[in-house]
């Protein structure tokens, strides 16, 4: 289960990073935003869960505007978090 969540975090980070270069379909943004918010609520109680909720909510802000530096930092964070979960 941990490896599956790690893979989804990794994919979410890649999607967030690629949103800087490409237009991402809204259904993908909604999926990963919802996934991160729900995961944060399910595993509530530590800083990483709050971080998941904040990043999930940020995914929904991508509909309004893409803040390039924030997207790159949060995308890198999710990729690293997903990578450590897989290992």
Long-range pairs for 22-31: beta carbons < 8 A, 24 or more residues apart: 24/62, 26/63, 29/59, 29/60, 29/62, 29/63, 30/59, 30/60
Residue that the structure tokens 């790690």 belong to: 6
Q: What is the dihedral of CA 84, 41, 13, 46, to 10 degrees?
A: -40
Residue that the structure tokens 């803040």 belong to: 67
How many alpha carbons lie under 13 Å from residue 16 in its C-beta half-sphere? 31
Query: Model's pTM, two decimal places?
Result: 0.90
Domains in the chain: boundaries: 2-86
pLDDT tens profile 9-59: 999 999 998 888 888 899 999 999 999 999 999 998 888 889 999 999 999
């Amino acid at each position: 289960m941990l490896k599956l969540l790690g893979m989804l975090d990794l994919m979410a980070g890649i999607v967030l990073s690629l949103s800087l270069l490409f237009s991402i379909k809204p259904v993908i943004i909604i999926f990963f935003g919802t996934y991160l918010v729900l995961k944060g609520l399910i595993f509530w109680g530590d800083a990483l869960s709050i971080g998941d909720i904040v990043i999930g909510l940020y995914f929904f802000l991508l509909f309004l505007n893409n803040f390039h530096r924030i997207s790159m930092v949060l995308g890198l964070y999710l990729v690293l978090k997903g990578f450590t979960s897989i290992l």
